[in-house]
Amino acid sequence: MIRQLREDHANTNVPAIHLEIDRVLKAHFLNRDLFDLRKINKSKFSLFDAAVGNAKEFASNLWDKILAAVDELQPTWLILYPLRGVVSQSHKIGFDGLSVMAPGDNDKWQGYGSSYPRTTSFNPAEGSPERFSVPTVWGIELPTARTGRPFTWLICKAKGTKSSVTRIAADRMRTFLALLFARWHPSSADFFIFKSDLGEHRCSIQFAPAGNRDEDSISCGNIGRLMPSFPIDFSISEQSIIHIRRWLSACGSADEEKRRRAITASHYIHHAIMADSFERFIYYYISLDAMFGERYKVEESIKNALLRMFPNDPNWVYRADRLFDLRNALIHGGTSSIDGWKDLKAYIRHVKTSPMADVALAAMTALRTYFD
């Protein structure tokens, strides 16, 4: 019931909730403001039989105590993830507890000390990704994994249990990174192809809030694949931060369906950035479906959206049709690779671009302008 009534408890562990309810009942059973033990009948008994005063008031008081106990299961954690090869000043995004921080920003880092005591013994400038990952294979150092690369901390303050909060933070970070990639894409699309697992960082650092039983420890665990390792360094501009803030603000104000479509699409675009080969194409196309697709009219609805986005390029009529054909061929067994698609040569000859480049351009442009 708690998971259904409270959105912030939707992912709370059910056995943990049951244990907290039991603990609250045991702790307050002898509370004479709530229970009159003289009313207990061993043959037939419910909590309301022993309630003091009005049943609704009793239920409300007990419910408040249970919710308070369950809320303690989900404190607000501080999650840090290093964006390797990214340079940025510190910025508060203002949504979903997100911010970016320059490793040398001591003032901002010290500001976390009162709420997260263990941060005072951690130096973010020394917390380089190299401390937690191996940058070489067989002693060979590649451009994507060279030591001493700049990095920026991506930070998320998220509410949840110790085990579930990493996934919550990862999803929020994926949306932020997808929006960032969409901003970088117009000028750096070619570099998105050249990435390597070597030097890719998959761990986050987690700090518990003051008063939590884990407040004196620092957790370092797997958060998943978030930032690809590119051969060049990127910068987060002030304009990119402003655009991302506006996008997130519009997303928060949108109706539930459009908000859900936007967030889902951002996750698939992030999956596409991390993927390779035909999987990348599929993820990009799924993101278009997430934003524009309508049941029984997937091809038509996506095609209409693409024509609205690129009104001055008549070749998008052709591209929209052929990209959908390639999507069908990959999904329904027509080919197991883009190179094996029977219409690939005709596509390149006709539009002078590749299906991968075009679907990426469509997906990135759609996400970037979704709320315009």
pLDDT in tens, 324-353: 999 999 999 999 999 999 999 999 999 999
Confidence grade of residue 355 (pLDDT, cut at 50, 70, 90): very high
Residue 191 reports pLDDT greater than 70: no
- Which of 1-5, 133-137, 184-188, 365-369 is predicted least confidently? 133-137
Share of the chain above pLDDT 90, in %: 60
CB 365 within 8 A of CB 359: no
- Which of 59-73, 132-146, 155-169 is predicted least confidently? 132-146
Residue with the bigger pLDDT between 63 and 114: it is 114
Residue in 78, 86, 88 with CA at minimum distance from that of residue 162: 78
pLDDT given for residue 51 in this prediction: 64
What is the residue extent of each domain of the chain?
A: 2-71, 76-234, 254-368
Residue 46 reports pLDDT greater than 90: no
Strand partners, 51: 35
pLDDT given for residue 116 in this prediction: 96
Tens digits of per-residue pLDDT, 289-300?
Answer: 999 999 999 999
CB 180 within 8 A of CB 244: yes
Tens digits of per-residue pLDDT, 216-236?
Answer: 888 888 999 999 888 788 999
**CA 227-231-232 angle, 5° bins:** 90
For 158, the enclosing helix (H) or strand (E) is strand 151-159
Read off the amino acid at residue 291.
M
Instruction: Please tell me the distance from the alpha carbon of residue 144 to that of residue 6, in angstroms, as a whole number.
Output: 43
Residue 132 CB: number of other CB atoms within 10 A? 14
Helix 355-368 / helix 344-351 crossing angle, nearest 10 deg: 60
Which ranges of the chain would DSSP assign to H, the alpha helix? 2-5, 14-28, 55-71, 106-110, 165-188, 238-253, 256-274, 277-292, 298-309, 315-331, 344-351, 355-368
